[in-house]
Each structure stands twice: as C-alpha cells, then as structure tokens.
Amino acid sequence: MSKLGTLGARLHHGEVGYDFVKNRKIWYGISILITITAILGLAVRGLHMGIEFQGGAVFTTPKNMSVSVAQAEGYAEDASGHDAIVQQLGDGSMRIQVAGIDTGASDKIKDTLAEDLKLDSEQINAELVGPSWGEQIANKAWQGLGIFMFLVVIYLAIAFEWRMALAAFVALIHDITITVGIYALVGFEVTPGTVIGLLTILGYSLYDTVVVFDSLKEQTKDITKQTRWTYSEIANRSINSTLVRSVNTTVVALLPVAGLLFIGGGVLGAGMLNDISLSLFVGLAAGAYSSIFIATPLVADLKEREPAMKSLKKRVLAKRAQGTATGETRETPVTGEDHGDESEDAAPAVVGPRDQSATRARGRGRPSGKRR
C-alpha cells in the first residue's frame, strides 16, 4: 500500500489526525479576509462583462497576422472610439470585440480596421451581437441558482438536519463570492461560459460537504449515550476520516481544469476555455476548502449550542478530570476509536488463575492403582 493510502487508512481509523474544529476561528478569519477582498474587488473593479451582455460587434481577422495584439487593440479603439478587447487565437488570427456599437458603425469600423491592418475589407469577418441574448442567459442563470439553492437546503434539512443545511448554504455562498471576486480582480471577461462554470461548481462544492456530513451523521448516532467524545471531537474525526478522499477527488478534478486554463486558454488562446476553466478552477479549490474548514466546523459550532450537547460536554470533561485524578489512561480525542460505553464500562479481563471446582480438585494428588 502506498504512503498516501496508508495515511488515508490511519486517518479513517482515527490513528492520526489534525484538529480542524479546534482551530476553526483561524479558518473563519482566513475566509472572512478572502471574502472581503473579493467583495472589494467587485466594488472597485467590477465585473468585465462580455459583449454578449453589452451588445456590439466581433471582428475576426485572417490567419497569421503580422501585427501584435497591442497594435490591433489600438487600431480598433481609434476606429471605434470605444474600448476594445483583442484575443490572438491559436491559428494566428485575431478576435476583436467592440461593445456598444450598431450596424452602421460596425461597417465603418470594419473598413478602417482593414485599412490599418493592410487587409481587404472582405477578409475581415464581422458579427453583430445583441445584448438581449446575454440578458436572457443571465436571468435564466439567476433563476437556476435560486432554485438550486432552495432545493439543496430543503434536501439537506430532510436528509440531515437544518444546521447542516445552513452550513452548506453558507459554504456555497462563500465559494460563489470568492469565484466572482477573483474574476473581478483578474479582469477576465464574464461570458456565458463563465455562467456555465459558476453553475457547475455548485455541485462539486456540495459533494465534499455532503460526504463529510454523511460520516458525521453516522458517527453521532446515540451520541448522548456515551461520555467519551463531545460533538466537536466527533465532527473533527469525520473530517479526518474523509480528508484523503476529498483531497484526491479535488486534485483529480483540478488537473484537467488546470490544463484547460493554462494550456488551452493561455497557450492556445481559446477565449471560451479561459471563461469556463477559471471559474471551475477557483470554484473547485474554494469548494474543497469550505467543506473542510468552514461547513463542518460551523455545524459543530451550531450543535454545541444545544442544551443536550452542552450537557454532554460537561459530562465528558468531568469524566476526563476524574480519570486524570485517579491516574487512569485513555485514548486522546483525536486519535482514539469510539466504541461507546460498552467497551469502556466492561468488566476487566481475568488475569489470575481460575478457581477450580471442588469435584475437579478432589481427585488431585490421588495415586493411581489399587489401595492397599
């Protein structure tokens, strides 16, 4: 078995572990800092909406252009009087986007670009894009997001409990905010591909959270009938037992997305791949983080406020203090296995010689043979 597999088995059986729940205030602070940065990025820089949401024209040049992207951008801005976005595609052609122009202006910009680029006007392909299509996509995306959130909260509240549903909802908002904020800070264009990526990451973000919640639900059955572990300690054991699975799933998902982002978008110049892959990459990473560091510790915080869990914590601490005073040894909360009160309160094993019955002892030492 590989070292990673061995570590996963030891984490699953509670032989090793890291106390995620105990350090939850650190993770909360990191998340709040990242979220504030994302919100400030949205407020200051704003989202760079694509031409599909603003309307305008898209000009595509022939292959193997000799001008640079900066030169083509300058030509387009001089010809249109608007900001232009120029992308160099993998075959050497250029895609020039100019927002906020109509059909008449498009024809004039096309002729001016052809003259500046030393091309024939027929060699440049021009397409007009209306803003209504992007608005429809955005409206449908918001509707889908709202329906998804509602169904997720209802399902988790029924399958688990309302505290887990609330924690999962907070984790989803956390992931979406960070992803959108990264888009604002990086300056990537928001296109329908971005919307598709944002909706896709919701399922990935929820997957790891539900896996941990399922383990937590299983391990907290009849929790008040034992006095070995508090709810927070069992929640921490649930995170550790599924940690390697979550990491493996996230890494396997991130590798092809990273290929799309850095090779497909960065090297080959496929603009749509950039739009989708950046949202997927950031969303997957944020989802893995929130499921481990945010969702489950938040559930533990909410559960520890219950009177039953407060009473359980007092009993657990009192029993540990009693065991420390009497010199008893026990397993630590992070590494021990939870066998309930049966193993803890069972009678000690017999270590001395067993008492023999009278009938068996009566014949001992008697010589064999006839009596004389």
Do the domain assignments include residue 360? no
Residue indicated by tokens 């305008």? 56
Contact 212, 69 (CB under 8 A): no
Angstrom distance (rounded) from CA 107 to CA 113: 10
Query: How does pLDDT run along the chain (372 residues), one tens digit per residue?
Result: 456 556 656 665 556 667 888 888 999 999 999 999 999 988 888 887 777 777 788 888 888 777 888 888 888 888 888 778 787 776 778 888 887 777 678 888 888 888 888 888 888 888 877 767 667 777 887 888 888 888 888 998 998 989 999 999 999 999 989 988 988 888 777 877 788 888 888 887 788 888 889 888 888 888 888 888 899 999 998 888 888 888 888 888 888 888 877 776 555 555 566 778 888 888 888 888 998 899 999 999 999 999 999 999 999 888 888 878 776 555 545 443 344 443 343 333 333 333 344 444 444 444 444 443
Please check whether residues 258 and 161 belong to one and the same domain. yes
Q: Taking the model in full, what pTM does it have?
A: 0.71
For 34, counting Cβ atoms within 10 Å of its Cβ (0-12 exposed, 13-18 middle, 19+ buried), the class is middle
Dist CA 315 CA 296 (whole Å):
23
Token pair belonging to 199: 């909706």
Residue 358 falls inside a structural domain: no
In a domain, 353, yes or no: no
Same domain as 287, residue 226: yes
Query: What is the domain extent for residue 66?
Result: 56-129
Q: Do 235 and 93 have their domain in common?
A: no
Do 156 and 216 lie in a common domain? yes
User: CA torsion, points 271, 74, 42, 186, in degrees to nearest 10?
Assistant: 50
Listed residues 308, 324, 355: the one ending a domain: 308
Domain boundary among 65, 100, 129: 129
Q: Note whether 9 and 151 are same-domain residues.
A: yes
Do 235 and 137 reside in the same domain of the chain?
yes
Is 18 in the same domain as 68? Answer: no
Strand stretches in the chain, DSSP E: 48-49, 56-60, 84-88, 94-99, 125-129, 189-190
- Give how many domains the chain has, as a whole number: 2
Same domain assignment for residues 102 and 218 = no
The verdict on 203 and 243 lying in the same domain is yes
| Last residue of one domain, picked from the residues 253, 281, 308 | 308
Note whether 114 and 145 are same-domain residues: no
Q: Same domain, yes or no, for 87 and 153?
A: no
Answer yes or no: do 293 and 178 share one domain.
yes
